[in-house]
Amino acid sequence: MKESVVKDKIGTLLPPSLTAEQQGNVAVLRLNRPQKRNALDDETILGIETFFSAPPEDARCVLLCGEGVHFSAGLDLTELKERDVTQGIAHSSLWHRAFERVQFGKVPVVAVLHGAVVGGGLELAAAAHVRVAEHSAYYALPEGSRGIYVGGGGSVRLPRLIGVARMMDMILTGRTYSAEEGQAMGLTTYITEPGKGFAKGLELAQHIATNAPLTNFAVMQALPRTAESDPTTGYAMEALMSSIAQADPEAKARLRDFLEKRGRKVTRD
Give pLDDT, residue 246. 84
Q: How many whole angstroms from its chain centre is CA 82?
A: 30
Cα→Cα distances 49→7, 11, 66, 154, 221, Å: 15, 15, 16, 17, 18
Band of pLDDT at residue 10, cut at 50, 70 and 90:
low
Given a contact cutoff of 8 angstroms between Cβ atoms, the answer to whether 4 and 17 are in contact is no
Running DSSP on this structure, what letter comes out for residue 146? G
187 and 222 assigned to the same domain: no
Catalytic residue, candidates 43, 49, 134, 143:
143
φ, ψ of residue 68 in degrees (nearest 5) = 90, -150
Residue 9 has pLDDT above 70, yes or no: no
Q: What torsion, rounded to 10 degrees, do the Cα atoms 235, 240, 244, 246 define?
A: 40
Q: How far apart are the C-alpha atoms of 153 and 76, rounded to whole Å? A: 16
131 and 185 assigned to the same domain: yes
Structural domain contains residue 266: no
172 and 143 assigned to the same domain: yes
More confident site: 256 or 10: 256
Identify whether 123 is a catalytic site residue: yes
Q: Which residue range forms the structural domain that includes residue 167? A: 6-209
Catalytic residue, candidates 43, 49, 123, 134:
123
CATH number at residue 146: 3.90.226.10
Cα angle for residues 188, 146, 33 (degrees, 5° grid): 60
Structural domain contains residue 268: no
222 and 120 assigned to the same domain: no
Number of domains in the chain: 2
What's the pLDDT tens digit per position in 182-208?
999 999 999 999 999 999 999 999 999
CATH number at residue 254: 1.10.12.10
Q: How many whole angstroms from its chain centre is CA 166?
A: 21
φ, ψ of residue 221 in degrees (nearest 5) = -95, -40
Give pLDDT, residue 2. 44
Beta strand pairing status for 13-14 and 6-7?
antiparallel
Structural domain contains residue 52: yes
Give pLDDT, residue 76. 86
Give pLDDT, residue 114. 98
Residue closest to 177 by CA, chosen among 124, 125, 138: 138
Q: Which of 209, 227, 242 is the last residue of a domain?
A: 209
220 and 123 assigned to the same domain: no
Identify whether 21 is a catalytic site residue: no
φ, ψ of residue 44 in degrees (nearest 5) = -65, -45
102 and 166 assigned to the same domain: yes
Give pLDDT, residue 258. 66
Given a contact cutoff of 8 angstroms between Cβ atoms, the answer to whether 179 and 113 are in contact is yes
Q: How far apart are the C-alpha atoms of 80 and 184, rounded to whole Å? A: 34
Average pLDDT along the chain = 90
Structural domain contains residue 264: no
Cα→Cα distances 191→26, 39, 78, Å: 21, 23, 32
What's the pLDDT tens digit per position in 30-84?
999 999 999 999 999 999 999 999 999 999 999 999 999 999 999 888 776 677 8
Residue 215 has pLDDT above 90, yes or no: yes
Give pLDDT, residue 3. 41
Helix or strand (DSSP H, E) at 21: strand 18-23
AA identity, residue 188: T
